Amino acid sequence: MDDGVETSSSCRRQRVCEEEEEDRISRLPDSILIHILSFLPTIDAVRTVLVPRFRHLWHFLPTLKFDHYWYTNYHYPQVDLPFFHEKFLDFVRHVLILHQNATINKFVLKLELNLLYSNLGEDISDHLEKYANRERRMASEVDSWIHFAMRKNVKVLNLDFLEIGDSQPNASYRLPSVVFRGKYLTELKLIACEIKPIGEIQLNCLKLLSLKECVLNDEIIKQIISGCSVLEELSLLGCYGLSRLAFRNPSIKSLILYHEALYNERLEISCPGIETLDMAGSMELVDFVDVSSIVVSSTSFCFGLENSSEKYQKVVELLKKLSRGKMFRTCNECILAMEKHNLFYGIRQQRAVACLVFSAWQLINQPDLLFGWKYLEFELHPTKWHQPGISCLLRTSPFLESLAMYIYTESNQLSPPNGYEWMESHSVDGENFWSSQEGTFHCLQNHLKTVKLYGYITEPYVFDIIEFLLKNSMVLEKLEISTQATFKPSQQALYSRWKAEYTKEQRVEFSQKLFSLPRASTRAVILFSP
């Protein structure tokens, strides 16, 4: 009996606590509740209309996000394309009609939209004309949504019209010119649209401009930049129509560039004021005229270079331009490219290497090609084929003070990576590579103070690198090793499923081997976070 009374009392207390919790939320001012709603996808924020306290608060949302995939989930019904889900269109119309906030902080629209059929010309069949009319109506409605955001003095505008699969630049949706008169815009991100602004460009508050797979030309990007007096970061990813990027806007400090070069188009860059350059794609087709203020540079190769001496020499010239910076980040592919120098160094007298050997070897054979960076960071799929590349980086970076390596797992340790099969014809002794290194590593003798390794630290050849660095780094102060930070912090969420996992026995075994290694520097401290 007493147990029943106690249980009943406990239930009543729980209900009272829940009611009090509900009352506390209800007592919050509207401004705080609206702020909370702004973190939800707009489709979920609107659903709070069913909660009495929230009711119509979504009418005052400062952030509006619309994503066509909410209704399609990438699965389209068996209908004629282009397909625009009516429920999605009705939802956007409904929200915009009832929106009452005077301003919008952020407006996001993701909708697959191009004018493929509309651009076929006048002599098309009635069947295709139906598709073209559907596209034009959708483009016109999107125009009205964008004008709505601009009337609300939007600060952050993110428009993504990219279709699944290949983009089609000749059929891109043309962005309304009103966007480039957004005097309140601080951040503008555009994906898969055509940019041909009419009239004066006034983006006086814009600090970040990101264009991905957009259609523009040299003159247009020049006009846009000239109209952005406080722009700090410029991102151009796979854009079409550019051949020269030149500006002297002193506020722009960061350039992010992906040069796709579908038809081997060259791109000339003259940006003497930028301090940070993050670059990927067909770098062998990029010509640096002036990047004299570079402090931090990052490169990512997307194509192999082994079959073209001309390509290779262009990349060499690019790296020379970046060598004056203080920090250099590179990718796994670049390590392989660097390996090529060392592999060819050992066989440069053989007939098979031909003229490719000389262009490849120039990077470390000429004294004026030594790199001046003090901080080096790279990602690595460790195989024996990577050892010469790492050695090359250490030899050619005499002022290096800090080294960071992000270790990926590699399923195939026995063969060179795809695109570098030619390496199999050259002998690389992975087991004894580091013990056989001769000559001077100036950075190890005089400058290298910090080494960091993250991720799959028990992969083959990684421990050999650690042992070599500890034995030869005369002024080393700290060696930091972690299995937790598998990738760079900015990539943790994306690659969390690849996190390095080790048993307690594996961690203990690695730790014992690590701390038993001899150290050339008496000040060297080892920090191990398993």
416-470 pLDDT tens trace: 555 555 556 556 677 888 888 888 899 999 999 999 998 888 888 899 999 999 9
Query: What does the block give as tokens for 353?
Result: 């290497």
The answer to whether the bond into 82 is cis (omega within 30° of 0) is yes
Q: What is the pLDDT of residues 295-311, one digit of tens each?
A: 888 877 655 445 555 66
Mean pLDDT (whole number) for 192-204? 93
pLDDT for position 493: 47
The H or E element spanning position 395 is helix 387-395
C-alpha distances out from residue 336 to 19, 333, 440, 451, Å: 63, 5, 22, 21
Residue entry with tokens 């005369």: 474
- pLDDT at residue 13 is higher than 80: no
- pLDDT at residue 350 is higher than 60: no
pLDDT for position 408: 79
Q: Give alpha helix (H) positions in 426-461.
A: 442-446
> 314 versus 341: which is more confidently predicted?
314
What does the alpha-carbon distance between residue 70 and residue 88 come to, in Å, rounded to a whole number? 8
- In this prediction, residue 7 has a pLDDT band, given cuts at 50, 70 and 90, of low
pLDDT for position 196: 93
pLDDT for position 508: 92
User: Any residues with CB less than 8 A from the CB of 135 and at least 6 apart, and which?
Assistant: 82, 113, 114, 115, 116, 117, 118
Q: What is the pLDDT of residues 26-83, one digit of tens each?
A: 788 889 989 999 999 999 999 988 888 888 899 999 999 999 888 775 555 544 556 6
> 107 versus 20: which is more confidently predicted?
107
Helix (H, G, I), strand (E, B) or coil at 229: coil
Q: What is the pLDDT of residues 253-291, one digit of tens each?
A: 999 999 887 777 889 999 999 999 988 888 778 888 898
pTM: 0.79
Axis-axis angle for helices 126-151, 86-98 (nearest 10): 30
What does the alpha-carbon distance between residue 459 and residue 510 come to, in Å, rounded to a whole number? 11
Phi, psi of 529 (to 5 degrees): -120, 95
Q: What is the pLDDT of residues 166-186, one digit of tens each?
A: 566 767 899 999 999 999 999
> 2 versus 86: which is more confidently predicted?
86
Q: What is the pLDDT of residues 82-102, one digit of tens each?
A: 667 888 999 999 999 999 999
> 338 versus 152: which is more confidently predicted?
152
Q: Label the pairing between strands 286-290 and 193-194.
A: unpaired
pLDDT for position 261: 76
Q: Which amino acid, residue 124?
A: I
- pLDDT at residue 385 is higher than 70: yes
- pLDDT at residue 522 is higher than 80: yes
Q: What is the pLDDT of residues 467-510, one digit of tens each?
A: 999 999 999 999 999 887 554 544 544 444 456 788 889 999 99
Query: What does the block give as tokens for 56?
Result: 């119509």
Average pLDDT taken over every residue of the chain? 80
Query: What does the block give as tokens for 528?
Result: 């191990």
- pLDDT at residue 339 is higher than 50: no
- pLDDT at residue 123 is higher than 80: no
Q: What does the angle CA 323 – CA 228 – CA 226 come to, to the nearest 5 degrees? A: 80
107: Cα separation from own chain's centroid: 22
Q: Please state the domain extents for the chain.
A: 297-338+349-410+435-529
pLDDT for position 71: 79
- In this prediction, residue 20 has a pLDDT band, given cuts at 50, 70 and 90, of low
pLDDT for position 360: 37
Portion of the chain with pLDDT greater than 90, in percent: 41
pLDDT for position 336: 46
- In this prediction, residue 198 has a pLDDT band, given cuts at 50, 70 and 90, of very high
Portion of the chain with pLDDT greater than 70, in percent: 75
pLDDT for position 364: 37
